[in-house]
Amino acid sequence: MTPPTPRLELAFSLEAEVGEPLDLGIVRHERRRIIPILGGTFAGPGIQGRVLPGGADWQLVHDDGGAVLDARYTLETDNGALIYVVNHGLRHGPAEVLRKLNAGEPVDPDSYYFRSAPVFETSAAEWAWLMHFLFVGYGERYPDKVKLHFFKVL
């Protein structure tokens, strides 16, 4: 018997403004970078709001330019509810593309792999469904912002 293929449903898309990377240098054999999250917006079917400033993405960048991502930030819905996000991800691709990306140069999002697995926490009953599903994210990195598209796994 063939198991059913999971389906994906767009939950919402997010655009976050990011600050200049803080480069800590090589720690434990990898480069540590911290990318401040300055704010932004998000919207999807029945949900919208803003990305609050103060979060960050704590990255470990490998020798080949690929990165392990650990972003933590807070969303505020248009009705004032707070949603905490922990978003673990991977970004990798051809060496030249990653060199440009890590240098803050624009590159085509289809030229590299940027996927994530967000987890949401909220005490707001209206948004509790975010804690009852698994999600996957598709990311796009630009010089001054990140776009993320979060899909609920059905």
For the stretch 6-25, pLDDT in tens is 999 999 999 999 999 999 99
CATH code for the domain defined by 8-153: 2.40.160.20
- Boundaries of every domain in the chain: 8-153
pLDDT at position 43, please? 98
Residue 103 pLDDT = 85
The model's pTM: 0.94
53 with 73: CB under 8 angstroms?
no
Q: Per residue in 39-48, pLDDT tens? A: 999 999 999 9
The model's pLDDT over 62-101, given as tens digits with 9 standing for 90+, comes to 999 899 999 999 999 999 999 999 999 999 999 999 989 8
Q: How many residues does the chain have?
A: 154
Terminal-residue alpha carbon distance, the chain: 19
